[in-house]
C-alpha cells in the first residue's frame, strides 16, 4: 500500500494535468519510469507517412495560388450552364502539375526516412541485468545505463557515471550541436566514478534523478541525484548530450535522462515545416496580379455582354443550355446572362495564368540539386566529401545570403596546429616548411 502511494505521489509530482513540471528517473528501472510515459529514443525528421502523404502534400501544394486558381476553375467547368469546355482540359494539366511536385516531395521525404532509419538503427550497448546487450538506438529508454566507447556518438542525453580517465573525466566534441571543434571536458561524480566499468555494480545502480523538464538550452542543466541516502547536485558539466562524439576517452558509462524528441538536439531542431522560398512568395504575388488582371478583363467583357444582350437579345441561348436559367423578360434575362458570362469568360481566358510555371520551377530545382551534388569545386578530396543537397526546394535561397555570422571560435576554419620551428637558448630546432611546395627550406643567417 505504501509503495503504491509513493508511486502515485511520484507520478503526480512529475506531471500535472498531462504537463511535465519536473522529471523523475530511476536508473535501471524501466517499470518505474514507464508510468511517466517519457519519450523513447526514436526520432523522426520526415514530414509524411504513407497515410498522411496525400492529404498533407495536397494541402501544401494548394497553398500556391496558381494551383488553387486552377482547382476553382475546374469546379466551375463542372457546371454546364457556364462552361463550354470539358473539365478534362483543366483536370489533366492540374493533375500533372500536382503529380510531378508530389513525386519530387516524396523523393525528398524518402531520403529523410532513410536518414532517420540509419540513425535509429545505430547500435548502443545497454546494461540489462548486469550484462551489456547491443540494442538499436530507437530501443534505448529513459533510465537505461549505456556504455560509450571512443569516437562514438552519444545516443541520448545522459548523466555521466564513470569513465576511463582519472577523476571521472571525459572529453567530447560538440560540432554537431554548436559547430565548435574544440574538445570540451565533462566530469562525473567521484562517488559514481568509483564503479568504473564494473557491469555488475553499474547494473545494480539504483540512483534516482530529479531534474528539469526537456528544453533547448544546450549549456544549462539542473538536477539532483539521490543515491545511498545522499543527495548530489547535478549541472551541465556532468551531462553528455545527444549528437556529441566521445573523444580521447576509451569508454564511459551514463544513465539516460532525455531520449528521442526530448533531447536538447531535437528540441533545437523544431518541427519539420513546409518552407516557402522567396521565389515562391514572389510567384504568389505575381499570380495575384495576373488574376486581378484576368478578373478586370472578365468584368469588362461581362458589362459589354450585358449591354449587348440588352440591345440585341439573347444570342448566346443557342449555344448554352440557359432555357431554364434565363428569365423571359429582356432586362432580367440580360442581367442573368451577364452574370453567367462572367464565369464563362474566366474559363475561356484561363490560360492567362500559366499553369506550367510551377512545373518549370520544380524541374529546374530538381536538376540543380544534382548539379550541386556533382560540383567538383565543392568536393573535399582529403575526406572524400562532396556537396549534398538535402532538399530540392530551397536551392535558390543560397543566392539570397548576404551576411554570414561566425563566432570567435571560427567555425569556418580548422584547428590544425603544425610545429614548424623554435629557438631554445639560441639553438634552432625543427624545420621550416615552404607553404607552397611543402619542401623543407634552408634558413641561413
Sign of the CA dihedral running 251, 252, 256, 259: negative
Question: What residues are labeled active site?
Answer: 407
Q: Could you give the CA distance from residue 325 to residue 336 in angstroms, rounded to a whole number? A: 8
Helix (H, G, I), strand (E, B) or coil at 253: strand
User: Is 237 known as a binding-site position?
Assistant: no
User: Is 411 known as a binding-site position?
Assistant: no
3-state secondary structure 83-135: CCCCCHHHHHHHHHHHHHHHHHHHHHHHHHHHHHHHHHCCEEEEEECCEEEEE
Q: Could you give the CA distance from residue 274 to residue 123 in angstroms, rounded to a whole number? A: 32
**Would you say 157 and 238 are in contact if contact means Cβ atoms under 8 Å apart?**
no
Percent composition of the chain: helix, strand, coil (DSSP 3-state, to 5):
45, 20, 40
Q: Could you give the CA distance from residue 258 to residue 427 in angstroms, rounded to a whole number? A: 56
Q: Could you give the CA distance from residue 170 to residue 210 in angstroms, rounded to a whole number? A: 23
Q: Could you give the CA distance from residue 333 to residue 327 in angstroms, rounded to a whole number? A: 5
Q: Could you give the CA distance from residue 139 to residue 133 in angstroms, rounded to a whole number? A: 11
- The helices-and-strands tally (H runs, E runs) of the chain is 12, 19
User: Is 408 known as a binding-site position?
Assistant: yes
Please compute, for residue 9, the number of CA atoms within 13 A of its CA located in the half-sphere on the CB side: 6
Q: Which three cell numbers stand for residue 276?
A: 516557402
Task: Classify residue 322 by burial, with Cβ atoms within 10 Å: 0-12, 13-18, 19+.
Answer: middle
Binding site residue list for Mg(2+): 407, 409
Binding site residue list for ATP: 407-409
Binding site residue list: 407-409
Amino acid at each position: 500500500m505504501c509503495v503504491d502511494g509513493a508511486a502515485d505521489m511520484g507520478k503526480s509530482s512529475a506531471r500535472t494535468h498531462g504537463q511535465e513540471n519536473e522529471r523523475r528517473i530511476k536508473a535501471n528501472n524501466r517499470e518505474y519510469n514507464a508510468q511517466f510515459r517519457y519519450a523513447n529514443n526514436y526520432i523522426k525528421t520526415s514530414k509524411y507517412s504513407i497515410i498522411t502523404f496525400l492529404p498533407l502534400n495536397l494541402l501544401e501544394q494548394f497553398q500556391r495560388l496558381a494551383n488553387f486558381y486552377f482547382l476553382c476553375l475546374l469546379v466551375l467547368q463542372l457546371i454546364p450552364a457556364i462552361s463550354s469546355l470539358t473539365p478534362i482540359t483543366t483536370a489533366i494539366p492540374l493533375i500533372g502539375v500536382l503529380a510531378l511536385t508530389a513525386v519530387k516531395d516524396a523523393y525528398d521525404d524518402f531520403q529523410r526516412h532513410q536518414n532517420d532509419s540509419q540513425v535509429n538503427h545505430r547500435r548502443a550497448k545497454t546494461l540489462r541485468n548486469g550484462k551489456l546487450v547491443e540494442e538499436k538506438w530507437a530501443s534505448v529508454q529513459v533510465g537505461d545505463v549505456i556504455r560509450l566507447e571512443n569516437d562514438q556518438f552519444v545516443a541520448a542525453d545522459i548523466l555521466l557515471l564513470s569513465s576511463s580517465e582519472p577523476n571521472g573525466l571525459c572529453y567530447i566534441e560538440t560540432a554537431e550541436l554548436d559547430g565548435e571543434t574544440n574538445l570540451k571536458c565533462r566530469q562525473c561524480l567521484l562517488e559514481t566514478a568509483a564503479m568504473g566499468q564494473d557491469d555488475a555494480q553499474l547494473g545494480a545502480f539504483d540512483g534516482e534523478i530529479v531534474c528539469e523538464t526537456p528544453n533547448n538550452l544546450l549549456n544549462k542543466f539542473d538536477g539532483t541525484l539521490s543515491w545511498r541516502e545522499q543527495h548530489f547536485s547535478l549541472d551541465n558539466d556532468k551531462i553528455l548530450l545527444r549528437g556529441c562524439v566521445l573523444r580521447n576517452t576509451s569508454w564511459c558509462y551514463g544513465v539516460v535522462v532525455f531520449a528521442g524528441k526530448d533531447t536538447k538536439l531535437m528540441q533545437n531542431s523544431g518541427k519539420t515545416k513546409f518552407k516557402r522560398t522567396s521565389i515562391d512568395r514572389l510567384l504568389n504575388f505575381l499570380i495575384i496580379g495576373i488574376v486581378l488582371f484576368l478578373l478586370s478583363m472578365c468584368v469588362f467583357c461581362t458589362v459589354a455582354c450585358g449591354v449587348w444582350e440588352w440591345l440585341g437579345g439573347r444570342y448566346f441561348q443557342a449555344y448554352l443550355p440557359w432555357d431554364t436559367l434565363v428569365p423571359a423578360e429582356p432586362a432580367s434575362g440580360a442581367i442573368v446572362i451577364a452574370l453567367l458570362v462572367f464565369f464563362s469568360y474566366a474559363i475561356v481566358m484561363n490560360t492567362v495564368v500559366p499553369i506550367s510555371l510551377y512545373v518549370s520551377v520544380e524541374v529546374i530545382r530538381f536538376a540543380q540539386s544534382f548539379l550541386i551534388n556533382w560540383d567538383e569545386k565543392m568536393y573535399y578530396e582529403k575526406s572524400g566529401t562532396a556537396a549534398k543537397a538535402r532538399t530540392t526546394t530551397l536551392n535558390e535561397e543560397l543566392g539570397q545570403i548576404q551576411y554570414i555570422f561566425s563566432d570567435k571560435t571560427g567555425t569556418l576554419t580548422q584547428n590544425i596546429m603544425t610545429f614548424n620551428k623554435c629557438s631554445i637558448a639560441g639553438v634552432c630546432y625543427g624545420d621550416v616548411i615552404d607553404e607552397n611546395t611543402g619542401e623543407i627550406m634552408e634558413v641561413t643567417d
